[in-house]
Amino acid sequence: MDDLRIVVVTGASRGIGRAIAVELSAPGTHVIVNYNSKPEAAEKTVSLIAGRGGAASAMCFDVASADAVKEAFDKIVKAHGRIDVLVNNAGIAKDNLLALMKPAEWDVVMATNLRGAFLCSQAVIKPMMRRRYGRIVNVTSVVAATGNPGQCNYAAAKAGVIGLTKSLAREIVSRKITVNAVAPGYIETDMTAAIPAKAREALLGQIPAGRPGAPEEVAAAVAFLASDLAGYITGQVIHVNGGMFMS
């Protein structure tokens, strides 16, 4: 058991998840870097956190597996006695037009992006309630608000994350636990690097800021919502998209 602030970030081996894990690191904080593959990338995140004076450890588990999630969070609570912050960032995309989409493409996206957020949130509620403190931040997407051709599965899952955020926020705010979401727009990551040049140009044309965002800009919004300063903010969705969508 220790008095460190314990932070769990799912899908933290690269991209936005890595940026969030690094941003949340600091002396007095231990970040659990979740990954489901590519242990070398997860260890790179751990190394970056150590470079900022924080403590971190990598933990491999599939957020879509109820047994794996329970085992992982039981281990974290047993080792540290607490979980202060959960960031549900793990996500995948399997894009296809709905007319051509295989049921497996729908199911796997729902399993990781929505079921994973449900399972991990459920796993931290009791430890947070016992301490009467907690921060849950869910990473959704601009497409949850706008829709996007070829992403019915992804958009539906991310819209579900918003519904989960708002409902859970109402359930547990009396225990001083906040639940919020951050919705990134077009962010420069390995995933978006594969977008063809013509599609990239079209995307940039929809962004008043005229540029893609950086993972660190998303991480900054998450870090605020995870802080003590955000204790009176719950059930909200913060859009980080350069004006691509304005609610």
Residue 132 sits in a domain whose CATH number is: 3.40.50.720
pLDDT of residue 202: 87
Does 133 reside within a domain? Answer: yes
Helix (H, G, I), strand (E, B) or coil at 170: helix
The half-sphere exposure of 17 on its side-chain side, counting CA atoms within 13 A, is 28
Q: Is the dihedral of CA 57, 62, 67, 69 positive or negative?
A: positive
pLDDT of 90-137, one tens digit each?
999 999 999 999 999 999 999 999 999 999 999 999 999 999 999 999
Does 50 reside within a domain? Answer: yes
Domain that holds residue 132: 5-240
Q: Active site includes 186?
A: no
Q: pLDDT band at 3, cuts 50/70/90? A: confident
Does 247 reside within a domain? Answer: no
pLDDT of 40-75, one tens digit each?
999 999 999 999 999 999 999 999 999 999 999 999
CA dihedral 143, 226, 120, 162 (to 10 degrees): -30
Does 120 reside within a domain? Answer: yes
pLDDT of residue 125: 98
- Residues 6 or more apart whose CB falls under 8 angstroms from that of 7 comprise 21, 24, 25, 29, 30, 31, 32, 84, 85, 86, 87, 226
Q: In the chain, how many domains are there?
A: 1
pLDDT of residue 198: 85
Does 202 reside within a domain? Answer: yes
Using a pLDDT cut of 70, give the percent of the chain over it. 99
pLDDT over 90 (residue 24): yes
The mean pLDDT of the chain is 96
Does 229 reside within a domain? Answer: yes
pLDDT of residue 122: 98
pLDDT of residue 129: 98
pLDDT of residue 65: 98
pLDDT of 160-215, one tens digit each?
999 999 999 999 999 999 999 999 999 998 877 777 888 888 889 999 999 999 99
CA dihedral 96, 219, 222, 14 (to 10 degrees): 50
Does 171 reside within a domain? Answer: yes
Rg (CA), the chain: 17
pLDDT of residue 195: 78
pLDDT of residue 1: 65
Give the length of the chain.
247
Does 60 reside within a domain? Answer: yes
Q: Which one from 35, 133, 154, 186 is the annotated catalytic residue?
A: 154
